[in-house]
Structure 1
Amino acid sequence: MSKKVLVINGPNINMLGRREKDLYGKEDYAYLCDIINKKANELDYEVEMYQSNSEGSIITKIQQSLDEADDIIINPAAYTHTSVGILDALKMFKGKIIEVHISDISEREEFRKHSYVSYVATKRIIGKGLEGYLLALEEL
């Protein structure tokens, strides 16, 4: 039975390729989904991609995955720094949780340096660009 991995992306990740290309690169969200799916196939993982700009929707998705996903890869994006709700939902999850950030949040504005998700993350992959998602899959 293949491992089921939920990949969650937060606000504005759907706008990759259009926003701050110096930080996030020129590739779009469809490209990100494609490379994740290809890597997952190589590893014999079943991957579900999920992106939302809404905090409540992300929380609901985590709750729905409690008995469905083996592991979670999450880039909470702007909610990294603000969402106790996402943290609390992730606390209920029993599998591995890998936090991914495309840019190096430790080298950005002061308010971006704090991560609520880091309290529950099994591992953090930060500042590796889109490759960070592939590294996360390899860690599972």
Structure 2
Amino acid sequence: MQNHIIRKIAMLALALGMASAALASADTSPKPGGVYLLKPGIYVAKGSDCGAPPNAAIRQYDGKGLSTAHTRACKVTVKSRKRSTYTVDQSCIDAGAGPAPRVVQRQQVTVQDALTFTQVIRGDRTTYQYCPVYQLPKDLQNVVR
């Protein structure tokens, strides 16, 4: 009887392990990379809810720069790098849509890991964390797909 229970537990553990491996292999989202070696996608200010973030709390990383709800086509020029802290000039089109001028802004970005970074702009420091697509509101899910 005891051997039977042990075999069932072992089979259950094996099945759970295979299910976890299958879920992990189903992740088709982009891997970390680009200028900051972050996972491309939507990040929100720490303390904000991925499911309903305010526009001011959103950053989108595409491997080239960090856009906001009101900027797009951002491109970073790295001025200096000390370990995981980058001093950059970021150039963005200063509108979410339509024609607008390109603006350049000096920033400091510190990458804690592939899913977390801190951005300092004019002395204001904010830490952002990655939001998986399934946790985002539908309008933001459509932006990253």
Normalised by the shorter chain, which TM-score bucket? under 0.3
Higher strand fraction (1 or 2): 2
TM-score by length of 2: 0.25
Higher helix fraction (1 or 2): 1
TM-score by length of 1: 0.25
**Higher RCO (Cα < 8 Å, 6 or more apart):** 1
